[in-house]
Amino acid sequence: MPEQTVIEAVRDTMRAEMRRDESVILLGEDVGLRGGVFLATDGFIEEFGEDRVIDTPLAESLICGLALGAAVNGMRPLAEIQFADFVWPAINQLVGEAARVRYGTNGVKTAPMTIRVPYGGGVRGGLYHSQSIEVLFAHTPGLTVVAPATPYDAKGLLASAIRSDDPVIVLEHKRTYRLVKGEVPIEDYTIPIGRAEIKRPGSEMTIVTYGLMLHYALQAAETVSEQGLDVEVLDLRTLRPLDADAIAESVSRTGKVLIVQEDTPAVSISSEVAAIVGERCFFDLDGPITRLTAPELPPMPFSPLQEAAFMPSPEKIVAAIAKLAEL
């Protein structure tokens, strides 16, 4: 089976979807002639032309407003926000408008649009090329948010997002773009939105995580298995809607949960996962619900030692596992 990096899987999926459905149009800054700053759309304008690969002006609210307008008029726009840190001017068009189109028109208008957003740190990105932005979107009824962390999941979830009739935010951790390589089948497939996946089965503890942290958690689980600790790793994959059933099933079975996220902790995905565990697994818990997150600082400092101190790491996860296992 061929192996690809995450960025290759993303690129190939977009290309396949654009070939499959001519209503899919690409818009964003530098997506055309430059092929995208991460080369996600390298070669696209040559293949699909200026009318399907649109270099927009530098205006994020416009990009998402355009996507929304085109979506309600028969297109399936696939927009890119160049860095998650730049999404804030577009929040109104996404959270205030796109999320509410179907509800506010009682189903008469729908917005089949996809917004791809590279996010996350550990790339020496400083305060404005490192942010995690999932929380606002994951909180919003009407929006769907996915966060694939492997090449296989990137293809399947991006295809589902583009084919979905709802507005979908696709969060791609930029560190995984070239760091993670894995098997990706050539044939067409989709992954259902809203389903987490056990990436590593275990019996004594569940790590719930997503994004780059999935890979760090898997490394940590491998390390502790040599000491006889059997840790399960659950990849959320979709952040809204969260797969509460999968979370509850896993934690009820293992009895202990460690939630690992790169984002800061207050009012975050980990808070919601903890609430679900508390509501549904209380009488199966053999230890307190535990989180490992970034510290409560603006993500994230530029200088290397500070960036490393900010980010969770496999070593920090190993220590957290050991502490929770000991209790």
Partner 1 sequence: MVAFKIELPHVGESVTEAIIGKWLKSPGEHIEKYDPLVEVITDKVNMDVPAPASGTLTKLLAAEGDTVPMGSVIAEMETDEANVRGDSESSPTPAGAKSPGSPLAGRIGTLVQGANVGPTGGEFLDTSLSSPEPGTRPATAASSGPDNGKQHFSPVVTRLAAQHGVDLGTLVGTGLGGRVTKKDVLAAAASAPPSTALADSISAEDQVIEPTPIRRMIAAHMVRSTSEIPHAWSAVEVDVTGMVAWRAANRQRFQQTHDVRLTYLPFTLLCVAAALKVSPRINSSWLDGKVVLKGAINVGVAVAAPEGLVVPVVQSAAGSTLLELAQQLDGVVKRARSGTMTLNDVQGGTFTLNNTGALGSVWGGAIINHPQAAILTTEAIVKRPVVITEKDSDSVVVRSMMNICLSFDHRIIDGAEASIFLQAVRTGLEAIVVDTEF
Partner 2 sequence: MSATANKSSKLGTTSPPLSGERLVELYRTMVLSRYLDERVWLLNRQGKAAIAASAQGHEAAQVACIEATDPSKDHYLTYYRQFTAMMALGTEPEEMLRGFLAKDGDPMSAARQFPLHGAHPRVDLFNFSNVIATQLPQAAGVALADQLRGDDAVTIVFFGDGAASQGDTHEAMNFAGIRKLPIVFFCENNRYAISVPLNKQMAVDTVASRAAGYGFPGVQVDGTDVVAVYEATQAAVNRARAGDGPTLIEASVERLQPHTTDDDHTRYRSPEDIAQMANKDPVKITSETLRRRDLLTEAEDEAIHAEAKRRVNVATDTVDAEPYPDTETMFDHVTSNRDEGGS
Q: List residues with catalytic annotation.
A: 129
Query: Which option in partner 1, partner 2, none does residue 305 bind, with CB closer than 5 to 8 A by kind?
Result: none
Q: Could you give the maximum distance between any two Cα atoms of the chain, in Å?
A: 60
Residue 88 to residue 322: CA distance in whole angstroms: 38
Prior bond of 2 cis (ω within 30°): no
Residue 36 to residue 96: CA distance in whole angstroms: 27
Interaction of residue 326 with partner 1, rule CB under 8 A: yes
Q: Which of 69, 126, 182, 287 binds partner 1 (CB under 8 A)?
A: 287
Query: Which option in partner 2, partner 1, none does residue 241 bind, with CB closer than 5 to 8 A by kind?
Result: partner 2
Residue 247 to residue 249: CA distance in whole angstroms: 6
Q: With respect to partner 1, which residue has the nearer C-beta, 179 or 248?
A: 248
Nearest to 149 by CA among 273, 237, 80: 237
> Please, what is the minimum distance in Å from the beta carbon of residue 234 to partner 1?
19
Q: Which of 33, 286, 295, 298 binds partner 1 (CB under 8 A)?
A: 286
Q: Answer whether 295's CB lies under 8 Å from 306's CB.
A: no
Q: Answer whether 261's CB lies under 8 Å from 291's CB.
A: yes
Interaction of residue 283 with partner 1, rule CB under 8 A: yes
Q: With respect to partner 1, which residue has the nearer C-beta, 195 or 280?
A: 280
Structure tokens at 105: 């028109």
Q: Which of 136, 241, 284, 314 binds partner 1 (CB under 8 A)?
A: 284
Query: Which option in partner 1, partner 2, none does residue 49 bind, with CB closer than 5 to 8 A by kind?
Result: partner 2
CA distances from 46 to 10, 39, 49, 159 (A): 18, 13, 6, 22
Residue 320 to residue 311: CA distance in whole angstroms: 14
CA distances from 58 to 55, 69, 99, 105 (A): 9, 18, 23, 30
> Please, what is the minimum distance in Å from the beta carbon of residue 318 to partner 2?
37
- The stretch near partner 1 (CB under 8 A) out of 11-19, 48-56, 159-167, 282-290 is 282-290
Q: Answer whether 184's CB lies under 8 Å from 152's CB.
A: yes
Q: With respect to partner 2, which residue has the nearer C-beta, 2 or 49?
A: 49
Structure tokens at 274: 């903890």
Interaction of residue 279 with partner 1, rule CB under 8 A: yes
> Please, what is the minimum distance in Å from the beta carbon of residue 244 to partner 1?
9
Residue 311 to residue 318: CA distance in whole angstroms: 14
Q: Which of 123, 127, 136, 285 binds partner 1 (CB under 8 A)?
A: 285
Q: With respect to partner 1, which residue has the nearer C-beta, 203 or 225?
A: 203
Q: Answer whether 258's CB lies under 8 Å from 286's CB.
A: no
Query: Which option in partner 2, partner 1, none does residue 285 bind, with CB closer than 5 to 8 A by kind?
Result: partner 1
φ/ψ of 161, rounded to 5, equals: -65, -45
The pattern of x and - marking residues 231 through 270 that bind partner 1 according to CB under 8 A reads ------------------------x---------------
- The stretch near partner 1 (CB under 8 A) out of 98-106, 164-172, 213-221, 275-283 is 275-283
**Contacts to partner 2 by CB under 8 A:** 25, 49-52, 54, 56-57, 59, 61-62, 64-75, 77, 89, 92-93, 96-97, 100-110, 141-142, 144, 164-166, 194, 241
> Please, what is the minimum distance in Å from the beta carbon of residue 280 to partner 1?
6
Residue 221 to residue 232: CA distance in whole angstroms: 8
Site residues (vs partner 1, CB under 8 A): 255, 279-280, 282-287, 326-327
